[in-house]
Structures are given as structure tokens and as C-alpha cells.
Amino acid sequence: EIVLTQSPGTLSFSPGESATLFCRASQNIVTSYLAWYQQKPGQAPRLLIYSASSRAIGIPARFYGSGSGTDFTLTISGLEPEDFAVYYCLQYDSSPHTFGQGTRLDIK
């Protein structure tokens, strides 16, 4: 099983700033089948990024995914008020698919 470790656990930024979130895999994800999700309270997760760096339909360009192998990042440039949420990475390369434990992005 591939274990995903997200860091940091919590981030605090002001609107307009940029934030970088990290997701490290315990094994090489050769296919780069790594996705990022945003979850707000009381809502289901929303797909932001797939295949490590491709934005899902309707996702603003300020969301940028990068990385390969075992290290992946999600960068959010110019934080908007609606971006403050919990973010999860998901690997869908091998079974069982696994999620990271999440990073909470708070307003400073």
C-alpha cells in the first residue's frame, strides 16, 4: 500500500498570498496518477488536479500541481477567500487507492 504523507498539517496565509502544499509518497508513483482535492465543511471533496499537474475542468489557473516519483506539490497563487479549506492528495496508481491525511489552509 502506498502511504501518502501531507505537510504541513496546517497552513495560515492571508488572501492574496501564495501557498504551497506537499504530498510525499512511500513508493514511487511511476504513472504520476496523483490527484489533489479541496474539501470545505459540509461538502464532498472537489477534484482540482489529476495526473499530478493537469487541472480539472473549471479549476482556476491559480491552482498549480507539480511533481513526480514520490514528491508532489500543490501551489495556490493569489489566495482567494474561497480557497481556505482542507486539501487532500490521492494516489490512484495502485490498489488500494490512498489519500493523504490532509492539509488545512486557514486564513491568517
Partner 1 sequence: QVQLQESGPGLVKPSETLSLTCTVSGGSINNYLWTWIRQPAGKGLEWIGHISTSGRTNFNPSLKSRVTMSIDTSKSRFSLRLTSVIATDTAIYYCARGEALYPLDVWGQGTTVTVSS
Contact 63, 76 (CB under 8 A): yes
Distance between CA atoms of residues 55 and 61, nearest Å: 8
Size of the site for partner 1 (CB under 8 A): 21
Q: How far is residue 12's CA from residue 104's CA, in Å, rounded to a whole number?
A: 8
Cα dihedral value 92, 23, 11, 66, nearest 10:
-90
CA distance 7 to 4: 10
- Is residue 58 close enough to count as binding partner 1 by CB under 8 A? no
Choose, by CB under 8 A, the member of 1, 17, 80, 82 that binds partner 1. 1
Among 45, 63, 85, 105, binds partner 1 (CB under 8 A): 45
User: Which residue number, 77 or 101, has a Cβ lying nearer to partner 1?
Assistant: 101
Work out which of 16, 44, 61, 81 binds partner 1, going by CB under 8 A. 44
Residues in the chain: 108
**Is residue 59 a contact point for partner 1 (CB under 8 A)?**
no
Does residue 25 bind partner 1 (CB under 8 A)?
no
- Point out which residues bind partner 1 (CB under 8 A): 1, 33, 35, 43-47, 50, 56, 88, 90, 92, 95-102
